[in-house]
Amino acid sequence: VNPDVAAGVERLRGDGVLRDLPANFFGRVARRELVTVRLEIRAALYLGVLLLTAGVGLFVKENHERIGPAAIGVAIGIGAAACLVWAMRRSAPFAWGEATSAHAGFDYVLLLGSLLVATDLGYLETQFTLLGQNWPWHLLVVALFYGLLAYRFDSRMLLSLSLASFAAWRGIAVSIGRTSLGSGDPARLRAEALSTGVLFAVLGLASVRAGKKAHFEDVWVNGGVLLVLGGVLSGVFGSRLDWGVWLLALLAVSAAIAAAAYRWKRTLPFAQAVLAAYLGVLRGVLSGGGGDAAARLLLAALLGAAALGVVFAAHRKMKIP
Amino acid sequence: MKGAWVEAERVEEVRAAARGWKRAGAIGTGTFEEILRRYPEPRTLPAPLWRVVTFLLVSAILLLLGGALVAGLSPAIKNAPFWCASLGVAFVVVAELQARSRSLARRGGVEAASFWGIVALVGGIFIFFEESLHAGNDVMVNAGLLGAALLFGLAAQHWGNPAFAGFAAGAVFILLARAPQGRLLWVAAGVALSAAAERFLDRPSWAPSHRACAAVLVAVGLVGVYAAVNLYALDHRLVEKLGSARLDASGPSFGERIASMVLTALVPLAAVVWGIRSRRAFALDVGLVLTALSLLTLRFYVHLAATWLVLTLAGAALLLLALGVNRWLAKGAAKERSGFTAESLFADERRLRALELVPVVAAHAPESRPPVEPGYQGGGGSFGGGGAGGSF
Q: What's the pLDDT tens digit per position in B311-344?
A: 999 999 999 999 999 999 999 998 999 999 998 8
Query: Which of B121-124's residues contact partners 24+ apart within 8 Å by CB, and which partners?
Result: B121/B84, B121/B85, B121/B88, B121/B89, B121/B92, B121/B147, B121/B151, B122/B147, B122/B148, B122/B151, B123/B84, B123/B88, B124/B80, B124/B81, B124/B82, B124/B83, B124/B84, B124/B85, B124/B88
Residues of A within 8 A of B53 (CB-CB) are 271, 274-275, 311
User: Cβ of B50 and A267 within 8 Å?
Assistant: yes
The mean pLDDT value for B64-74 works out to 89
pLDDT of residue B245: 55
pLDDT of residue A288: 65
Amino acid letter for position A56: V
User: Cβ of B57 and A121 within 8 Å?
Assistant: no
Q: Which residues of B173-198 are buried (b: 16+ CB within 10 A; e: fewer)?
A: bbbbbbeeebbebbbebbeebbeebb
Q: Return mean pLDDT, chain A.
A: 89
The mean pLDDT value for A286-304 works out to 85
* Chain A CA closest to residue B340: A35
Rounded to 5 degrees, what angle do the CA atoms B308, B309, B313 make?
A: 120
Residue ranges in B77-207 assigned as alpha helix (H): 80-99, 109-127, 137-159, 162-177, 182-198
CB count, 10 Å around CB of B372?
14
The mean pLDDT value for A147-157 works out to 94
Compute the nearest-CA separation of B130 from chain A (Å).
Answer: 27
pTM: 0.88
Give backbone dihedrals phi and psi of A172, rounded to 5 degrees, phi first. Answer: -105, 125
Compute the nearest-CA separation of A37 from chain B (Å).
Answer: 5
> A77-132: per-residue pLDDT in tens?
999 999 999 999 989 899 999 888 878 889 999 999 999 999 888 888 888 887 77
**How far from the centroid of its chain's Cα atoms is residue B88's Cα?**
24
For residue A207, pLDDT beyond 90: yes
- Tell me the CA distances in angstroms from B91 to B51, B88, B129, B157, B287, one per residue in order: 18, 5, 22, 18, 37
pLDDT of residue B301: 93
**How far from the centroid of its chain's Cα atoms is residue B375's Cα?**
52
For residue A175, pLDDT beyond 60: no
What 8-state DSSP symbol labels residue B100? T
pLDDT of residue B73: 84
Question: Any residues with CB less than 8 A from the CB of A191 and at least 6 apart, and which?
Answer: A231
Strands B340-341 and A35-36: parallel
pLDDT of residue A290: 61
User: Cβ of B392 and A61 within 8 Å?
Assistant: yes
pLDDT of residue A112: 92
* Chain B CA closest to residue A142: B386
For residue B87, pLDDT beyond 70: yes
The mean pLDDT value for B255-268 works out to 95
Which of A7, A61, A182 has the CB atom closest to B368's CB atom?
A182
Contact B311, A51 (CB under 8 A): yes
Interface contacts A/B by beta carbons within 8 Å: 371
Residues of B within 8 A of A75 (CB-CB) are none
Compute the nearest-CA separation of A267 from chain B (Å).
Answer: 8
